[in-house]
Amino acid sequence: MIKKCLFPVAGYGTRFLPATKAMPKEILPILDKPLVQYGVEEALEAGLTDIGFVTGRGKRAIEDHFDVSYELEHQIRGTGKEKRLDGIRQLIEQCTFSYTRQSSMKGLGHAVLTGRNLIGDEPFGVVLADDLCFGDAGSGGTADGEGVLAQMIRLYHQFRCSIVAIEEIPADQTHHYGVIAGEALSDSLFRVSTMVEKPAPEAAPSNLAIIGRYVLTPDIFTLLEQTEPGKNGEIQLTDALLKQAVDGGVIAYKFAGRRFDCGSLHGFVEATNYCYQRFYGETDPPTVARFDRSR
Ligand code: G1P
């Protein structure tokens, strides 16, 4: 059973300054819920209840979010507002939360390696909260659709190796992503043979980009220890995964669902409109006049 999920959340979120000057980017809300809460809900749905955060300076609001707020609860007890905390209360009851700090930013690979003590010697999930993912409605036999991590955990039990989520991207966007190539096992599955971190379009092995969901086998930690700084002078998770891939140890999965790059303004707005439609059944973004304050 996979129980643990790592959330690297130490990054500064410079693309959202000044909003992220005093607030972690993971706390920015899509509608009324912080981005990171969507990620933890996805992990819990996949059965991952041991949540580990690799945090950094200025990220304490994340710890407070996943804890009880006695004063607030006391204030709203018995009022209609209480139910607004139901979702986060359930997460707090069903998950455990652990934290470790990444004191210097040396890349995603370094962040994952920093989380080693929280994970130990077992397979685990990784969620990059900037990438907001929703399963296709109705997939996996549930009305809301099976989440992307849950889909990947099923694949892990089939293949018993690392699984990365991928999606097709426009050819001129490869420099934003890790890009894979490999043998197609089906329409949605590839046995990865090569992967490159943020290649220029002419150097990209395909248009299949890794998005921020991983299931990793624990040998990744030793491989990360042995990984030299790569693209942008950072220790890249992609480079360590490539070492697993040469032994056939990485499956790339085109998931059933949608993903929004909430690390960009465009993706953030798109996600907001999508969620408003999906969760409130509204097709247009709210105007000030129409907005129902109880929502
Ligand atoms: C990271 C990974 C990259 C992956 C991306 C997905 O990059 O290094 O391989 O494609 O996440 O969001 P970052 O966006 O942190 O620069």
Kindly state the average pLDDT of the residues 55-76.
93
Please report the atom of ligand 1 found closest to the CA of residue 130: 12
The percent of residues above 90 in pLDDT, for the chain, comes to 81
Using the mean position of ligand 1's atoms as its centre, give its distance from the Cα of residue 48 in Å: 22
Mean per-residue pLDDT for 99-125?
96
Tokens of 132: 């907001």
Predicted confidence (pLDDT) per residue in 143-167, tens digit: 678 999 999 999 999 999 999 999 9
> 243 is written with which tokens?
């070492």
Domains and CATH numbers, the chain: 4-290 (3.90.550.10)
Ligand 1 mean position, distance from CA 176 (Å): 7
Structure tokens at 55: 């945090």
Atom of ligand 1 nearest to the CA of 178: 9
Rounded to 5 degrees, what angle do the CA atoms 279, 150, 93 make?
A: 70
Count how many Cα atoms sit within 13 Å of the Cα of residue 227 in the half-sphere of its side chain. Answer: 29
What tens digit of pLDDT does each residue of 164-210 get? 999 999 999 999 999 999 999 999 999 999 999 999 999 999 999 99
Report whether pLDDT(222) > 70: yes
Task: Please report where in the chains the tokens 């997939």 appear, as a residue.
Answer: 139
Helix axis angle for 35-45 and 148-159, nearest 10°, is 40
What pLDDT does residue 287 have? Answer: 56
For residue 70, the CA-to-ligand 1 centroid distance in Å is 37
CA 271 to ligand 1 center in whole angstroms = 18
210 within ligand 1 shell (Cβ under 6 A): yes
Which atom of ligand 1 approaches the CA of 211 most closely?
6
Pocket perturbation via mutation, ligand 1, pick of 14, 25, 108, 197 by most ligand atoms within 8 A of CB: 108
Q: Output the residue whose Cα is nearest ligand 1's atom 10.
A: 177
- 120 Rama sector, left if φ>0, alpha if ψ -120 to 50, beta otherwise: left
User: What DSSP assignment string belongs to the chain?
Assistant: ---EEEEE-----GGGTTTTSSS-GGG-EETTEEHHHHHHHHHHHTT--EEEEEE-TT-HHHHHHTS--HHHHHHHTTSGGGGGGHHHHHHHHH-EEEEEE--S---HHHHHHHTHHHH-SS-EEEE-TTEEEEEPTTGGGSTT---HHHHHHHHHHHH-SEEEEEEE--GGGGGGSEEEEEEESSSSEEEEEEEEES--GGG-S-SEEEEEEEEE-THHHHHHHTPPP-GGGS--HHHHHHHHHTTT-EEEEE-SEEEEETTSHHHHHHHHHHHHHHHH--SSPPPTTT--TT-
Report which ligand 1 atom has the smallest distance to the Cα of 108: 8
> Does residue 197's CB lie within 6 angstroms of at least one atom of ligand 1?
yes
Q: CA 109, CA 236: separation in Å to the nearest integer?
A: 5
What average pLDDT does the chain have?
Answer: 93
How far, in Å, from the CA of 6 to the mean position of ligand 1?
A: 15
Cα 39 to ligand 1 centroid, rounded to whole Å: 16
Ligand 1 centre to CA of 212 (Å) is 7
Give the residue, by CA position, lying nearest to ligand 1 atom 6. Answer: 211
